[in-house]
Structure 1
Amino acid sequence: MSDAISAAWQELELLPKPTLKALFADPARLEAWSARLDLPGGTVRFDWSKTHLDAAHAAAFLKLADAAGFAARRGAMFAGEHINTTEDRAVEHTALRGVGRETSVEEAQALHLRMQSLVEAIHEGALGETRHLIHIGIGGSALGPALAIDALARDEAKMQVHVVSNIDGCALEAAFKACDPATTLIAVASKTFTTTETMTNAMSALDWLRQNGVEDAYGRVVALTAYPDKAVEWGVDETRVLPFSESVGGRYSLWSSIGFPIALALGWDDFAEFLDGAAAMDRHFLETNGFANLPLRAACADLYYTRLRGAQTRACFAYDERLRLFPSYLQQLEMESNGKSVKLDGSPVDGPTAPITWGGVGTDAQHAVFQLLHQGTNLVPVDFIAAIIPGDSLDPAHHRNLLANCFAQGAALMAGKAAKDPARAYPGDRPSAAILVEDLNPATLGALIAFHEHRTFCAGVLMQINSFDQFGVELGKDIARAIVGGAAVFDASTEALLAEAGIK
């Protein structure tokens, strides 16, 4: 750790830890720690006033950012430099949204035009009558499309999309039962086009088509990959192969051809608005300095709680049924990106990195996990996400009650409540942040996702780790392949389980 970075952390550790009640004694607290961004799809309010950060913490975190080279590393990412050092790759998901190195933006635009042509051709019937798409992927190749489609394509989807990620055959069979093979397309989404789970599911989908009278099964397949030659070799016609750049990581790939099912379900215009909303957040992140930079502010709060207050988890609760998959999406984004134990130089990290991300949907979660949040012994920072305009056409009482519960939870976590009976007392002084969108639409959802991407990047920079590799997912997969191959010998427990299951 450099002397400047060490000094910044020491300064942060020595700062007083004020209570939320004391911080709100300042009448300027709300204005200083909340902000509105005007985005293509409407206004979004970011309120971090119910966290324990104050001006002294902000100043110390900015010293840390300077010492860690935050501005230079941010610039390097947008310039297309190889900041993913362990894999010697650029990190260019922002170029897919039109913000980044000029040549990469031009390449992304060309690939988007290719995808747009295929999407519009399918909508016009070029591949025959098509009512359903089974999208097969895993990790980022599935979570991003599933989130966007569930959030935005509930009412007037141009095509029904079924996202399948699990190799458990029950998941694929459920999709088969919902579809007519004669009017179904299969999208195979794999960066390398070798992912075991995805390719196994893809072969089963081809068998299903053939067994149900589809003569040219491969003619119903669209491939989404960074290795188009492998897709063609597998059997997909090159006109239905949609490539994307190798510099785009899986959990950042929904802006690329991995977003094909989103565009197919919503239509190209909505997908373009999705990109525009993310690009607006990109520009805010790139052009805004200091604590006015909202992803940086959020990342500093995250590090405050993990490094200085010992919080091991962070919760996200979406008070909007359309965002029920958002916590799951954040789990991969944050824990796969920053769940590391070594720094950029290969030395061990000197403190906690990513917290365990979890969450759920309000108001369901209030009757399950909020007991621990209010009266448990764990300190859990909470994010609340909600929309002002409802997604339903029912009695407005539904949405009023939903928002009332959302805002009440943040107020209750902060204020607490004294009682003579200890079992009925609430300690309070528990932190939360709120993101309130005017309307949930393609542009604001794109901005929300991009905000969290940049928040994750900021935390990685301040911790001096590489947020863009994911070697931790490989060991278990390697062992699984060894088990299937039948040649390896394992510990006694694993051998007994394999024998009991009849696998070995």
Structure 2
Amino acid sequence: MLENNQVVESQHLNLDYSFQGLTLEDIRAFAAKKLPDNFDELRLQLLKGEFVNQTENKCVTHTLCRSFHSVVRAGNGKNRFNEIVRLLRSGKWLGATGKPITDVVNIGVGGSDLGSMMSSFALKEFADDASLHNLKVHFVSSMDGGQLYAVLPIVDPETTLFIIASKSFTTTDTFANVNTVKSWIEHTLSEDQWLTRHVIGVSANNQGMTDFGIPPAQQLSFGDTVGGRYSIWSAIGLPIALTIGSHQFGRMLDGAQQMDEHFAYLPLEQNIPMLMAVIGAYNRESRQINNLAILPYDGRLRYMPSYLQQLDMESNGKQTNFRNEPIDYPTGPIIWGGFGPNGQHAFFQHLHQGYDEFTADFIAILHRNAPGFDFGVQTSLREQQRLAVANCLAHRRLMWFGDAQPEDPRHHYRGQRPNNLIFMDELTPTSFGALLAAYEHKVFTQGLMWQINSFDQPGVELGKKVAVDILAAIDHIDIDGQPEGTFDASTDHIIRRM
């Protein structure tokens, strides 16, 4: 740790909190006040799969998915996960009409979509060279069918395999897309052909997959103690492995496990997730700043703000403590953001000169290799990476120090916007895994500080129920154009328009 610059380094990930305006003594004092007395015991429980989600009375086990004994970590060809990856990436998985599968469409939503989509995009350049088969992986999540509308015209029923990814195997959004796919394939394949050669199920509900008709050999399961937004390390990560190969997916798990070790045993001043958590909670409570901007300065990480939005806001956006008692203090912040270089031409104006307070995590990759290109292009891409890093450093500096010009208020940068710089020397599957695990542990630590359950999500259940009622009303308009149920004047009006 470089004390004077407030930089903490680990094997794959580094944190610079120099622009938070806090001394280490400030951070220690706040941590002593907010962390539970048994914090050391609780974090070890998490890493051993023994921490209890009290709402469901189940242990939280996502960290076990990246252990060396997990299902997806067995040697190649020695388990169903790796065998499926091998067959599809080698072109040896044949569809019902004997043609090799060329496209895979992952149908899922939330934790069954965001993490896999983000990671596949970020890491696709690291794909193993073992396969010369050009396997394309697509992602569909939207219940309105918009993504499916775009994907179906560019794939062929005879050469496309669908992953149905749903922890419960009952998700309405997911099966709305699945039902449309079934209509799409019926002119080319029978339902039996489709199920036996063109579908893989990934779920915690094995019976649900069996009842749907998916053969046992094409079912990948994970424990119902793995939360959806924490499930990227489980069989839900199949699209990542299909994109980059089992070996590289294993490296991503290695990076996460190494961050687990870092989080488990290092003291506060050397512990990246703990520092992120304590500083973030200080900004939320003592400074009363209600939002955190995620600003990655590498295009490969452009989907990280959306992923972290779900991870943090679904975990810590709570109004009761873990004893189910109402609370009257702020918990998780609003998570938002975007790809930094593009944000400079969009919302950075507000960040530098707008009225609202915010904090930010800048994420930077210092160096970039460019495999697959000639020397001239590689050199140019490295120069572009330096340009991105220079802009990242410039904007985070201005957000903290400002640039006062009293003679011209229009050019005044007020500064004093607290921010972190999270950086790594290179983006690799290993450093990427460490980055995601660090944010997971930050969220867990803040949940303990606020005495809330970070592993339940009751806040959307009522909306789902009301949606079912409204859909029933839409489907059963009477002869006079009146919906069966009456909701309110505005909702009833739209139902009649439907």
Is the structural similarity TM-score above 0.5? yes
Distance 2:394 2:400 in 1: 10
Distance 2:268 2:363 in 1: 24
Q: Tell me what 1:295 maps to.
A: 273
- 2:254 aligned to which of 257, 276, 293: 276
Please give the root-mean-square deviation of Cα atoms over the aligned residues, in Å: 2.0
Q: Tell me what 1:462 maps to.
A: 449
Q: Tell me what 2:4 maps to.
A: 29
Q: Tell me what 1:49 maps to.
A: 18
CA contact (8 A) 1:48 1:434 kept: yes
Distance 1:391 1:210 in 2: 45
Matched position secondary structure for 1:38:
coil
Kindly state the Cα deviation for residue 394 of structure 1 after the two structures are TM-superposed.
5.8
- 2:161 aligned to which of 161, 176, 185: 185
Q: Tell me what 2:366 maps to.
A: 388
CA contact (8 A) 1:384 1:432 kept: yes
TM-score if structure 1 supplies the norm length? 0.88
Kindly state the Cα deviation for residue 126 of structure 1 after the two structures are TM-superposed.
4.1
Deviation string, structure 1 residues 100-150 (Cα, Å, up to 9, x no partner):
xxxxx5566569932112211233444211111000000010000000111
Q: Is 1:480 aligned with 2:457?
A: no
Matched position secondary structure for 2:364:
strand
- 1:250 aligned to which of 222, 228, 234: 228
Q: Is 1:159 aligned with 2:130?
A: no
Identify the range of structure 1 (320-329 vs 44-53) with the bigger mean alpha-carbon deviation.
44-53
Q: Tell me what 1:122 maps to.
A: 88
Distance 2:105 2:73 in 1: 26
Q: Tell me what 1:10 maps to.
A: none
Kindly state the Cα deviation for residue 485 of structure 1 after the two structures are TM-superposed.
2.2
Q: Is 1:499 aligned with 2:487?
A: no
- 1:211 aligned to which of 155, 166, 187: 187
Q: Is 1:97 aligned with 2:66?
A: yes
Matched position secondary structure for 1:426:
coil
Q: Is 1:410 aligned with 2:396?
A: yes
CA change 1:114–1:287 in 2 (3 A) is farther
Q: Is 1:202 aligned with 2:174?
A: no
Matched position secondary structure for 1:278:
helix
Kindly state the Cα deviation for residue 222 of structure 1 after the two structures are TM-superposed.
0.2
Distance 2:90 2:492 in 1: 54
CA contact (8 A) 1:51 1:433 kept: yes
Deviation string, structure 1 residues 71-111 (Cα, Å, up to 9, x no partner):
22212222333521011111111101117xxxxx5566569
Kindly state the Cα deviation for residue 391 of structure 1 after the two structures are TM-superposed.
5.8
Aligned length: 464
Q: Tell me what 2:291 maps to.
A: 313
Matched position secondary structure for 2:278:
helix
Q: Tell me what 1:490 maps to.
A: 487
Q: Is 1:88 aligned with 2:66?
A: no
Kindly state the Cα deviation for residue 349 of structure 1 after the two structures are TM-superposed.
2.1
Distance 1:472 1:199 in 2: 21
Q: Tell me what 1:8 maps to.
A: none
Question: In the alignment, residue 167 of structure 2 is paired with which amino acid?
Answer: K
Kindly state the Cα deviation for residue 172 of structure 1 after the two structures are TM-superposed.
0.5
Deviation string, structure 1 residues 431-476 (Cα, Å, up to 9, x no partner):
1111111111111111111110001101100000000000112111
Q: Tell me what 1:21 maps to.
A: none
CA change 1:106–1:423 in 2 (3 A) is closer
Deviation string, structure 1 residues 382-425 (Cα, Å, up to 9, x no partner):
11111122265361432221111011011111211111121211
| Runs (5+) with no aligned partner, structure 1 | 1-26, 100-104
Matched position secondary structure for 2:282:
helix
Q: Tell me what 1:24 maps to.
A: none
Q: Tell me what 2:479 maps to.
A: none
Q: Tell me what 2:210 maps to.
A: 232
CA contact (8 A) 1:62 1:291 kept: no
Question: In the alignment, residue 188 of structure 2 is paired with which amino acid?
Answer: N
Matched position secondary structure for 2:79:
helix
Question: In the alignment, residue 409 of structure 2 is paired with which amino acid?
Answer: P
Kindly state the Cα deviation for residue 489 of structure 1 after the two structures are TM-superposed.
2.8
Q: Tell me what 2:121 maps to.
A: 150
Identify the range of structure 1 (50-59 vs 90-99) with the bigger mean alpha-carbon deviation.
50-59
Q: Tell me what 1:425 maps to.
A: 412
CA change 1:256–1:122 in 2 (3 A) is same
Distance 1:432 1:480 in 2: 39
Q: Tell me what 2:387 maps to.
A: 401
CA change 1:126–1:238 in 2 (3 A) is farther
CA contact (8 A) 1:68 1:464 kept: no
Distance 2:320 2:16 in 1: 32
Deviation string, structure 1 residues 12-54 (Cα, Å, up to 9, x no partner):
xxxxxxxxxxxxxxx9431xx2111114xxxx22111111221
Kindly state the Cα deviation for residue 156 of structure 1 after the two structures are TM-superposed.
5.3
Q: Is 1:62 aligned with 2:31?
A: yes
Question: In the alignment, residue 347 of structure 2 is paired with which amino acid?
Answer: V
| Runs (5+) with no aligned partner, structure 2 | 95-99, 129-133, 371-377, 474-483
- 1:451 aligned to which of 423, 432, 438: 438
Distance 2:488 2:269 in 1: 51
Distance 2:38 2:489 in 1: 48
Matched position secondary structure for 2:233:
coil
Distance 1:399 1:255 in 2: 29
Kindly state the Cα deviation for residue 283 of structure 1 after the two structures are TM-superposed.
0.8
Kindly state the Cα deviation for residue 177 of structure 1 after the two structures are TM-superposed.
1.9
Distance 1:462 1:47 in 2: 22
- 1:441 aligned to which of 402, 415, 428: 428
Question: In the alignment, residue 119 of structure 1 is paired with which amino acid?
Answer: V
Distance 2:369 2:494 in 1: 47
Distance 2:35 2:346 in 1: 42
CA contact (8 A) 1:95 1:108 kept: no
Distance 2:364 2:316 in 1: 26
CA contact (8 A) 2:296 2:304 kept: yes
Matched position secondary structure for 1:367:
coil
Distance 2:363 2:462 in 1: 35
Question: In the alignment, residue 372 of structure 1 is paired with which amino acid?
Answer: H
Distance 2:3 2:15 in 1: 16
Distance 1:106 1:371 in 2: 46
